[in-house]
């Protein structure tokens, strides 16, 4: 393999369109698996699961599995069912997250827990996890099963770690990075790595795709945490300042707290513990983030991890798949939603 240098920024705005076009035929097969495996004799299950799955998500994680298969010239179809399993894992975690976070919006629509209640959301999330494991077992590869089952466990650990850090302003940058690596990047990494397993490539290829997905996932979450303070509900599809009101200590806040005056640090202590969460408090918090340039620095960090993702696949030959995967990184770090 010959290494090439790929830059994150091109002439036109980055888009997921090249990756969507690349995997369109395989994605139809993935969608068929998803629709089939969502079915149940209990009507609430397909109704609730369908509400979230049909809610306008980009399906980025399963697309990554398919695109990595294209990168490796994999001619089979095993990765289509496994991409569906990846999406089931992701959807289940969203259902559970919305219950934990008491969220009322997801992708611009009411969350399932707001419509059907917390109990139904948790139980249907469990159903989707179970469906994911059925698909993994049917694939027959113990290595795939190990990768995706480990990802599921790590995601759960990340969510518990985040819950433990909630409303604790003393959360360190290292702990924050460990949280986002677990709750977001782990599934990105697994989604990419399993393509190398089904294509029967060597461990070095597995490691390259793991690194691509993991760094992309970290970049993706960094951008999410930055735009929570600077975007709007219509663009994001969720409430502005949700992280602030929930007491989540994300990188912009960690940096602002470290750089702030004694008075500002006291404000952050009060805000993160839930004592200052009004719209005026959110506006003041956002002004502090801009004052100390922590939004800009968080986005710069996202670009750093994005470049690491691009570098991880630098050794693969030039192809439509490689270009699409590279542009997907640029999209992730420049998106507004």
CA distance 311 to 5: 7
Can you give the C-alpha Rg of the chain in angstroms? 20
What residues contact 81, with CB distance under 8 A and at least 6 apart?
30, 33, 135, 138, 139
Domain ranges of the chain: 16-230+239-335
Identify the burial level of 176 via C-beta atoms within 10 angstroms of its C-beta, where 0-12 means exposed, 13-18 middle and 19 or more buried: buried
Q: 3-class SS at 109?
A: strand
Q: Which fold has domain 16-230+239-335?
A: Farnesyl Diphosphate Synthase (1.10.600)
Provide the H-helix boundaries in the chain.
17-22, 24-37, 44-53, 60-71, 78-101, 112-116, 118-139, 142-165, 173-180, 186-198, 203-227, 233-236, 242-246, 251-259, 262-272, 279-291, 294-312, 320-334
pLDDT band at 6 (very low <50, low <70, confident <90, very high): very low
Identify the burial level of 24 via C-beta atoms within 10 angstroms of its C-beta, where 0-12 means exposed, 13-18 middle and 19 or more buried: exposed
Give CA separation, 310 vs 71, 210, 274, 283, 301, in Å.
13, 12, 39, 35, 14
* pLDDT per position as a tens digit, 43-94: 888 888 877 777 657 799 999 999 999 999 999 999 999 999 999 999 999 8
Q: 3-class SS at 77?
A: coil
What does DSSP assign to residue 106? E
The maximal CA–CA distance of the chain, rounded, in angstroms, is: 61
Return the closest-CA partner of residue 243 out of 128, 85, 124, 101: 101
pLDDT score of 237 more than 60: no
**Better pLDDT: 77 or 101:** 77
Q: Span 242-250, mean pLDDT? A: 92
* pLDDT per position as a tens digit, 297-307: 999 999 999 99
Return the closest-CA partner of residue 87 out of 199, 191, 219: 191
pLDDT score of 236 more than 90: no
Both structure tokens of 178 = 């460990």
* pLDDT per position as a tens digit, 162-186: 999 999 999 999 999 999 999 999 9
What does DSSP assign to residue 171? -
* pLDDT per position as a tens digit, 269-312: 999 999 999 999 999 999 999 999 999 999 999 999 999 999 99
Contacts by 45-53, CB closer than 8 A, 24 or more apart: 45/124, 45/127, 48/95, 48/112, 48/115, 48/116, 48/120, 48/121, 48/124, 49/91, 49/124, 49/127, 49/128, 51/109, 51/112, 51/115, 52/91, 52/94, 52/95, 52/106, 52/112, 53/87, 53/91
Q: 3-class SS at 140?
A: coil
* pLDDT per position as a tens digit, 17-38: 999 999 999 999 999 999 899 8
Q: Which residue has the tokens 């290494």?
A: 3
For 150-171, give one letter per residue: b (16+ CB within 10 A) or e. Answer: ebbebbeebbebbeebbeebeb
CA distance 123 to 85: 17
CA distance 176 to 167: 13
Q: What is the pTM of this model?
A: 0.91
């Amino acid at each position: 393999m010959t290494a090439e240098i790929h830059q994150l920024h091109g002439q036109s705005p980055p888009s997921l369109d090249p990756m969507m076009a690349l995997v369109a035929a395989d994605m139809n097969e993935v969608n068929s698996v998803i629709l089939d495996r969502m079915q149940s004799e209990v009507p609430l299950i397909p109704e609730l699961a369908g509400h979230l799955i049909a809610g306008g998500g980009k399906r980025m994680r399963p697309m990554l599995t398919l695109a990595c298969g294209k990168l490796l010239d994999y001619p089979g179809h095993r990765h289509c069912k496994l991409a569906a399993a990846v999406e089931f894992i992701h959807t289940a975690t969203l259902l559970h997250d919305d219950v934990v976070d008491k969220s009322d919006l997801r992708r611009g629509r009411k969350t399932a827990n707001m419509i059907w209640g917390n109990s139904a959301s948790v139980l249907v999330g469990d159903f989707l996890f179970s469906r994911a494991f059925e698909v993994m077992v049917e694939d027959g590869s113990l290595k795939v099963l190990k990768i995706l089952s480990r990802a599921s466990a790590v995601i759960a650990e990340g969510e518990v770690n985040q819950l433990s850090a909630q409303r604790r302003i003393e959360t360190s940058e290292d702990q924050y990075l460990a949280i986002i690596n677990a709750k977001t990047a782990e599934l990105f990494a697994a989604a990419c790595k399993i393509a190398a397993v089904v294509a029967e490539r060597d461990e070095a290829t597995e490691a390259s795709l793991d690194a691509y997905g993991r760094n992309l996932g970290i970049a993706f979450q960094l951008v999410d945490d930055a735009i929570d303070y600077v975007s709007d509900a219509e663009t994001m599809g969720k409430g502005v300042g949700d992280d602030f009101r929930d007491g989540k200590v994300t990188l912009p806040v960690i940096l602002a707290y470290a750089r702030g005056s004694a008075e500002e640090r006291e404000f952050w202590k009060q805000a993160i513990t839930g004592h200052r969460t009004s719209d005026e408090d959110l506006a003041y918090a956002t002004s502090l983030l801009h004052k100390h340039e922590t939004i800009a620095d968080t986005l710069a960090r996202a670009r750093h991890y994005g470049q690491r993702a691009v570098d991880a696949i630098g050794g693969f030959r030039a192809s439509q798949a490689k270009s699409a995967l590279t542009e997907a990184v640029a999209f992730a770090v420049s998106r507004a939603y």
